[in-house]
């Protein structure tokens, strides 16, 4: 049982380049999230998804796009990378319970370290 898997783990980009981070979970979770972690800022929610085909903005969505074409995958895209997007990116997933659904325990991947030069 792999849990939450992120690829790639490391990436270096030049300003203006584009890239996609892939997150895959094998726990059949409905909800998936992308966070970024910066020194002194903690983890900040970028985008999240409450199910296949849905996405929503978090705290810091600007400069990022996401897609959830399959339940197990959540993609984070940078169309034109900027140095301010140098960060460690974490994907997480969670199940739900009850109606209306309550977010359950969060499970995180190991992170993807992105450097934009």
Partner 1 sequence: KQEVTQIPAALSVPEGENLVLNCSFTDSAIYNLQWFRQDPGKGLTSLLLIQSSQREQTSGRLNASLDKSSGRSTLYIAASQPGDSATYLCAAKLIFGTGTRLQVFP
Sites of contact with partner 1 (CB under 8 A): 33, 35, 40-45, 48, 58-59, 90, 92, 102-111
In the chain, the largest separation of any two C-alpha atoms, in whole Å, equals 46
Q: How many CB atoms within 10 Å of residue 19? A: 17
Identify which of residues 35 and 64 has a Cβ nearer to partner 1 in the complex. Answer: 35
Q: Smallest distance from the beta carbon of 73 to partner 1, in angstroms?
A: 18
Identify which of residues 40 and 69 has a Cβ nearer to partner 1 in the complex. Answer: 40
Q: Smallest distance from the beta carbon of 11 to partner 1, in angstroms?
A: 16
In three-state secondary structure terms, 85 is helix
The two three-digit tokens of residue 103, written as one number: 């977010």
Q: Smallest distance from the beta carbon of 42 to partner 1, in angstroms?
A: 4
Identify which of residues 14 and 28 has a Cβ nearer to partner 1 in the complex. Answer: 28
| Among 79, 111, 80, 95, CA closest to 32 | 95
| β-bridge mates for residue 88, sequence order | 37, 113
């Amino acid at each position: 049982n792999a849990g939450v898997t992120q690829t790639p783990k490391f990436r270096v980009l030049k300003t203006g380049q584009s890239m996609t981070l892939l997150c895959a979970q094998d726990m059949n979770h409905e909800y998936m999230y992308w966070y970024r972690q910066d020194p002194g800022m903690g983890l900040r929610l970028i985008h999240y998804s409450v199910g296949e085909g849905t996405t929503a903005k978090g705290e810091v969505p600007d400069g990022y796009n996401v897609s959830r074409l399959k339940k197990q995958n959540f993609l984070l895209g940078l169309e034109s990378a900027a140095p301010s997007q140098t960060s460690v990116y974490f994907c997480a997933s969670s199940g739900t319970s009850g109606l209306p659904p309550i977010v359950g325990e969060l499970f995180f991947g190991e992170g993807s370290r992105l450097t934009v030069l």
